[in-house]
Amino acid sequence: MKTPNLFVAGLLATTMMTAPALAANHPVTGEALADDQTFTYRVLDEHSSVDPQVVEDVTGSEIVRDLFEGLFNQDADGNLVPGVALSYEVNDAKDVFTFKLRDDAKWSNGDPVTAGDFVYGWQRLIDPELASPYSWFGELMSIENAAAILAGEKPVTDLGAVAIDDHTLEVKLTSSLPYFPLMTTHASTFPAPKSVIEAHGDDWTKPENIVSNGAYVLTEHLPNERSVRERNAMYWDNDNTIIEKVVALVINDENVALTRYLAGELDRTEVPAGQFPKLKTEHPDEAVSFPRLCSYYYTINLTDTTPEALKDQRVRQALSLAVDRDIIVDKVLAGGQTAAYTFTPEATAGFNIPAIDVASMTQAERDAKAKELMAEAGYTDGLDLELIYNTSESHKKVAVAISQMWKTKLGVNVELANQEWKVFLETRGNQDYQVARAGWCGDYNEASTFLDLMQTGSGYNDAKYSNAKVDELLGQAKTAADPQPLYTMVEEIIADEMPIIPIYHYAGVFMLDTDLGNWPVNNVEQNWYSKDLYKKAE
């Protein structure tokens, strides 16, 4: 980290003189490593918690993945690699999993990490007394008795996760779940240090108390300013960890963050909407963009509170056709996002994009078709609609651009209303809207993480879309040997009925310092681990 602070610069100079670091090379790539192995990155907001069972935000999960280690980790491409578990066995019915844990894993206080620590962590997760906002994840994992414990009907000790011995963990599920091990990379499934939690209570996550089993330990936390984690000497793979210190700086304003990045204070920051092309020209090696497993879309209210026009499928199709997605991704956002004609991103593992006519038409053809459909539906004189979005600079830009497209092409007058976040959620969740902005990021790398939202009863189905055929196909997909063709069929139905208007698929758009090695750009879920990174010598 380059810092203009003269004091710090002087301090660094003296340390270097008195204790010259040995010039090291990366064990695999052979690149020369920097003497100062500190990774500094920007976060938008203060994290909610570093308690693995309580954390609910992305920022916090990033920290928790460094501090704690679960059964499995992800590699740079998102594949499962052993963490505390070495391997697992599964029965034929795929509802009993047995994990074999490594015997050299230790907590930062030197205690061994045992299967019991996992059982304790998972019990905590669904314990009504802790009331974790992520306790539904325990239910989602389908562990035996989880639902009953959550409802307070059974004691936590009845949970279907048992420590057979210190290094064997057995999990009983209520139904067959072939991808269960994938879920163990999630922060809420990480182990918890019972003795420490019992000794310190709610204060156990404070830097002076916390004990963790990951590659790093939390050493400093100044809320709304920074949090610092440093190498954990007790970590089983400590010898292969290169980054010494990770600093997360809370910088609320993305433009200020970029300024500070350019001044050399940060190794990584987000690129503000629209600035990517310019930065790419000026800093070709630093500006990076890669696909993310997220969709940006407009959801249309289909309940009785909606205007008559939106109940007409042709109007919805026309609205979708008139959205020039290329302008949105190339000119408004300009950060490598891709135009979306389906809900599920193409980057999703195994997913085959259906052949949708709309995607292959030119925009002029789409506009002509849109006008035709509007005329057919009887709205030649235009239409008044209301579009809500939550307050944010980039949502605003997209909404303004789309409202202008609708106005000029279809004569649809759009009243824009930006709402404060919580008000927005309440309005959208109560179907008190006509068209609303929405976004969804996949929980795991499979199409159902998106398409399940289109199910009749889904709590996230803000359009209140309901189609028996879709429900049936998604039901079949749960047990099908190859669900991919079913997902493609669902997308085709959605493209026809248009309960939502897909707009674009997200991209991770970052400025990454060229010194920083091994950033997992291919991990679409962006689950990154500081222990896999390194700083190259300049």
User: With respect to other proteins, which residue has the nearer C-beta, 249 or 486?
Assistant: 249
Least distance to other proteins from the beta carbon of 3, Å? 6
Q: Which of 141, 249, 507, 509 binds other proteins (CB under 8 A)?
A: 249
DSSP 216-241: EEEEEEETTTEEEEEE-TT-TTGGG-
Q: To which residue do tokens 């997913």 refer? A: 351
Sequence-distant (≥ 6) Cβ neighbours of residue 428 within 8 angstroms: 299, 388, 436, 438, 462
Cα dihedral 184, 189, 195, 200 in deg (nearest 10): 140
Smallest gap from Cβ 135 to other proteins, in A, equals 5
Q: Which residues in the 9-38 window bind other proteins by CB under 8 A? A: none
For residues 421 and 392, give the distance between their C-alpha atoms in angstroms, rounded to a whole number: 9
Query: x/- string (CB under 8 A) for other proteins, residues 49-78?
Result: xxx--x-x----------------------
Is residue 331 close enough to count as binding other proteins by CB under 8 A?
yes
Q: Taking the complex as a whole, how short is the minimal distance between the CB of residue 265 and other proteins, in angstroms?
A: 6
Beta bridge partners of 288: 510
Query: Stretches 96-104, 189-197, 216-224, 527-535: which one binds other proteins (CB under 8 A)?
Result: 216-224
Q: Which of 20, 178, 223, 457 binds other proteins (CB under 8 A)?
A: 223
Q: Which is nearer to other proteins, 179 or 421 (CB)?
A: 421
Cβ of residue 50: shortest distance to other proteins, in angstroms?
A: 6
CB of residue 318 vs other proteins: minimum separation in angstroms? 20
The span from the CA of 433 to the CA of 390, in Å, is 13
CA angle, corner 90, sides to 523 and 144, nearest 5?
95
What are the beta bridge partners of residue 390?
419
287 touches 337 (CB < 8 A): no
Closest separation between CB of residue 53 and other proteins, Å? 10
Q: H-type helices in 351-429, by residue range?
A: 357-360, 363-377, 393-410, 421-429
The rounded distance, in Å, linking the Cα atoms of 217 and 185 is 19
What's the CA angle centered on 233, arms 232 and 237, to 5 degrees? 85
CB of residue 158 to other proteins, shortest distance in Å: 16
To the nearest 5 percent, what fractions of the chain are helix, strand and coil? 35, 20, 40
Question: Taking the complex as a whole, how short is the minimal distance between the CB of residue 352 and other proteins, in angstroms?
Answer: 27
Q: C-beta of 382: minimal distance to other proteins in Å?
A: 15
Name which of residues 398 to 417 contact other proteins (CB under 8 A): 399-401, 403-404, 415-417
Contact between 46 and other proteins per CB under 8 A = yes
Of 346 and 432, which CB lies nearer to other proteins in the complex structure?
432
Q: Which positions from 416 through 435 interact with other proteins, judged by CB under 8 A?
A: 416-423, 425-427, 429
* Nearest distance from C-beta of residue 222 to other proteins, angstroms: 5
Q: DSSP string of 265-301?
A: S-SEEEPPTT-HHHHHHH-TTTEEEEEEEEEEEEEE-
Tally of residues, the chain: 538
250 binds other proteins (CB under 8 A): yes
**Least distance from other proteins to the Cβ atom of residue 294, Å:** 12
Which of 379, 388, 353, 369 is CA-nearest to residue 495?
Answer: 353
Rounded least distance, CB 379 to other proteins, Å? 21
Q: Strand, coil or helix: what is 505?
A: strand
Whose Cβ is closer to other proteins: residue 129's or residue 482's? 129
Q: Scanning residues 448 to 477, which ones bind other proteins (CB under 8 A)?
A: 459-460
Applying the rule CB under 8 A, the residues between 272 and 291 that interact with other proteins are 272, 274-275, 278
Task: Pick between residue 8 and residue 164 the one whose CB is nearest to other proteins.
Answer: 8
Separation between Cα atoms, residue 209 and residue 312, nearest integer Å: 59
Tokens at residue 524, please? 């679409």
Distance CA 115, CA 269 (A): 38
Task: State which residue, 339 or 416, has the beta carbon closest to other proteins.
Answer: 416
Q: State the pairing for strand pair 226-231/80-82.
A: unpaired
Residues between 185 and 204 that touch other proteins (CB under 8 A)? 202
Considering the complex, state which of residue 134 and residue 236 has its C-beta at the smaller distance from other proteins. 134
Binding characters for other proteins, 91-130, by CB under 8 A (x = yes): -------------------------------------xxx
Q: Which one of residues 237, 393, 472, 496 is an interface residue with other proteins (CB under 8 A)?
A: 393
When the beta carbons of 224 and 479 are compared against other proteins, the nearer one is: 224
Among 206, 284, 514, 522, interactor with other proteins by CB under 8 A: 206
The answer to whether the beta carbons of residues 149 and 155 sit under 8 Å apart is yes
DSSP class of 531: G
Measure the CA–CA gap between 185 and 40, rounded to whole angstroms: 24
Which member of 76, 262, 359, 377 binds other proteins (CB under 8 A)? 262
